[in-house]
């Protein structure tokens, strides 16, 4: 991670709170200063386009020598959204539900989704001895965080089966949110019976825990041919308005990175793992990374209909108030870059 270069209004940006999101505290639009683009992402394989784009220098090269690419990493969606709200970052890779929540909480004033990044790569894994979904009733199942993308997926799936549950761990199944690393340990020690998790934790449960994949989430998205958004790229609305040229350059690098990953999977796995080790101090087993890459799909398509579906599912299980997502996508700049690269355009709603 590079050291942040001081920017005008840094103090004011840090002071912005959620209540002031409607005033749009983005540093770019407030000052016109566009010599730095600050990008957020997570130390997760599901953020491989960010890991590879930063590590290989593709994103920095796309921005050009006159622009500094500054980076910040996050471990939770709400933290990244709050940083975007405060103007501490200009854009970030993030999961669908935090983006939906950020859009809802800011009444559509704080962010836009500007590209897809990753699809697929989540599911329900049960410990050895649990062979079918019918064996899950009365068991304890973990998800990474209450209200996060996988938590909503599990609750929606369980609701469709007619099972009752609550946010306190009661019901026909006991849903217990905990961190991904804690989930893996709890699974290995049989403190939990199953978990709905994203990669690479899905592969860790399957390989290290010898678990059984009871539900591949791709099977739950028939209307989108098994594709569903796992990670996409969002931008601070003020920054987009103030510096569309920089956003276009970022998207150019993103398009190039995704294409490179898809053309060089083995090399991309190594590069992503190298960057993970740099930013987290831990390196994943090569077999875990290979398994995760096989289960993931890297794409600039935001798979918009799956975002709408995720919001509807969260509403149905009582974790989201009804939200109008019209206007959340801003894909014109992406489609311009895709046309330059000879690729098909993508669409939002």
Q: What is the pLDDT of residues 141-180, one digit of tens each?
A: 999 999 899 999 999 999 999 999 999 999 999 999 999 8
The residue to which tokens 């130390």 are assigned: 43
Among 25-34, 140-149, 231-240, 251-260, the range scoring the smallest mean pLDDT is 25-34
Question: Which pLDDT belongs to residue 23?
Answer: 34
Please tell me the distance from the alpha carbon of residue 144 to that of residue 244, in angstroms, as a whole number. 35
Question: Which pLDDT belongs to residue 29?
Answer: 35
pLDDT band at 131 (very low <50, low <70, confident <90, very high): very high
**Residue % of the chain over a pLDDT of 90:** 87
User: Cβ contacts of residue 57 below 8 Å, gap of 6+?
Assistant: none
For the segment 333-347, the average pLDDT, to the nearest whole number, is: 98
pTM listed for this prediction = 0.87
> Domain check: are 114 and 182 in the same one?
no
Question: Which pLDDT belongs to residue 132?
Answer: 95
Please tell me the distance from the alpha carbon of residue 69 to that of residue 75, in angstroms, as a whole number. 20
User: Cβ contacts of residue 175 below 8 Å, gap of 6+?
Assistant: 141, 142, 143, 151, 154, 155, 158, 165, 167, 169
Return mean pLDDT, the chain.
91
pLDDT of 3 over the 70 cut: no
Domain that holds residue 50: 10-120+228-340
Longest Cα pair distance anywhere in the chain, in angstroms? 60
In a domain, 3, yes or no: no
Which of these three, 178, 198, 224, is where a domain ends?
A: 224
Residue 198 is classified by DSSP as: E
> Domain check: are 192 and 257 in the same one?
no
Q: Are 346 and 334 in contact (CB under 8 A)?
A: yes
> Domain check: are 269 and 315 in the same one?
yes
Higher pLDDT, 24 or 195: 195
Helix or strand holding residue 273 (H, E): helix 265-280
pLDDT of 9 over the 80 cut: no
Q: What 3-state DSSP class applies to 56?
A: coil
> Domain check: are 250 and 332 in the same one?
yes
Which of these three, 224, 240, 261, is where a domain ends?
A: 224
Q: How do 212-216 and 36-41 pair as beta strands?
A: unpaired
Higher pLDDT, 306 or 11: 306
pLDDT of 193 over the 90 cut: yes
In a domain, 5, yes or no: no
> Domain check: are 162 and 218 in the same one?
yes
Tens digits of residue pLDDT in 77-103:
999 999 999 999 999 999 999 999 999
Q: What 3-state DSSP class applies to 139?
A: coil
Question: Which pLDDT belongs to residue 20?
Answer: 35
> Domain check: are 323 and 272 in the same one?
yes
Among 74-78, 129-133, 297-301, the range scoring the smallest mean pLDDT is 74-78
Please tell me the distance from the alpha carbon of residue 38 to that of residue 45, in angstroms, as a whole number. 20
Question: Which pLDDT belongs to residue 18?
Answer: 37
In a domain, 1, yes or no: no
Q: Are 177 and 144 in contact (CB under 8 A)?
A: yes
CB count in 10 Å sphere of residue 25: 24
pLDDT band at 109 (very low <50, low <70, confident <90, very high): very high
pLDDT of 315 over the 60 cut: yes
What length is written for the chain? Answer: 349
In a domain, 190, yes or no: yes
Which class for 130: exposed (0-12), middle (13-18), buried (19 or more C-beta within 10 A)?
A: middle
Question: Which pLDDT belongs to residue 50?
Answer: 98
pLDDT band at 13 (very low <50, low <70, confident <90, very high): very low
CATH for 129:
3.40.190.10
Which of these three, 224, 254, 272, is where a domain ends?
A: 224
Question: Which pLDDT belongs to residue 242?
Answer: 96
In a domain, 348, yes or no: no
Q: Is the dihedral of CA 55, 61, 62, 64 positive or negative?
A: positive
Q: Are 103 and 325 in contact (CB under 8 A)?
A: yes
> Domain check: are 16 and 113 in the same one?
yes
User: Cβ contacts of residue 190 below 8 Å, gap of 6+?
Assistant: 127
Question: Which pLDDT belongs to residue 345?
Answer: 98
- CA distances to 86, 273, 297, 349 from 80, rounded to whole Å, are 10, 22, 23, 24
Please tell me the distance from the alpha carbon of residue 83 to that of residue 96, in angstroms, as a whole number. 16
């Amino acid at each position: 991670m590079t050291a942040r270069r001081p920017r005008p209004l840094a103090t004011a940006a840090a002071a912005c709170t959620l209540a002031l999101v409607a005033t749009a505290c983005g540093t770019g639009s407030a000052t016109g200063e566009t010599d730095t683009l600050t990008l957020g992402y997570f130390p997760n394989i599901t953020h491989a386009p960010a890991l590879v784009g930063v590590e290989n220098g593709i994103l920095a090269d796309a921005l050009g020598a006159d622009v500094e690419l500054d980076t910040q990493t996050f471990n939770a969606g709400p933290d990244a959204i709050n940083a975007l709200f405060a103007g501490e970052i200009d854009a970030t890779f993030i999961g669908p539900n935090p983006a939906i929540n950020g859009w809802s909480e800011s009444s559509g004033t704080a962010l836009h989704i500007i590209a897809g990044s990753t699809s697929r790569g989540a599911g329900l894994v049960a410990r050895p001895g649990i062979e079918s979904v019918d064996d899950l009733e009365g068991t304890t199942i973990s998800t990474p965080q209450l209200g996060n993308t996988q938590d909503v997926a599990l609750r929606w799936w369980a609701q469709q089966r007619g099972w009752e549950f609550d946010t306190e761990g009661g019901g026909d199944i006991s849903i217990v949110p905990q961190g991904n690393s804690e989930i893996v340990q709890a699974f290995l020690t049989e403190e939990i019976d199953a978990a709905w998790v994203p990669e690479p934790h899905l592969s860790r449960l399957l390989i290290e825990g010898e678990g059984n994949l009871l539900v591949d989430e791709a099977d739950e998205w028939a209307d989108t041919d098994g594709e569903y958004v796992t990670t996409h790229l969002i931008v601070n609305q003020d920054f987009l308005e103030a510096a569309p040229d920089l956003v276009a350059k970022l998207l150019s690098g993103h398009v190039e990175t995704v294409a490179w990953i898809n053309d060089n999977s083995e090399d991309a796995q190594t590069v992503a793992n190298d960057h993970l080790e740099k930013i987290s101090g831990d390196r994943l087993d090569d077999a875990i990374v290979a398994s995760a890459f096989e289960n993931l799909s890297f794409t600039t398509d935001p798979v918009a209909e799956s975002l709408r579906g995720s919001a509807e599912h969260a509403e149905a299980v009582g974790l989201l108030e009804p939200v109008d997502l019209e206007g959340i996508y801003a894909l014109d700049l992406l489609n311009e870059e895709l046309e330059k690269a000879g690729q098909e355009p993508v669409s939002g709603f």
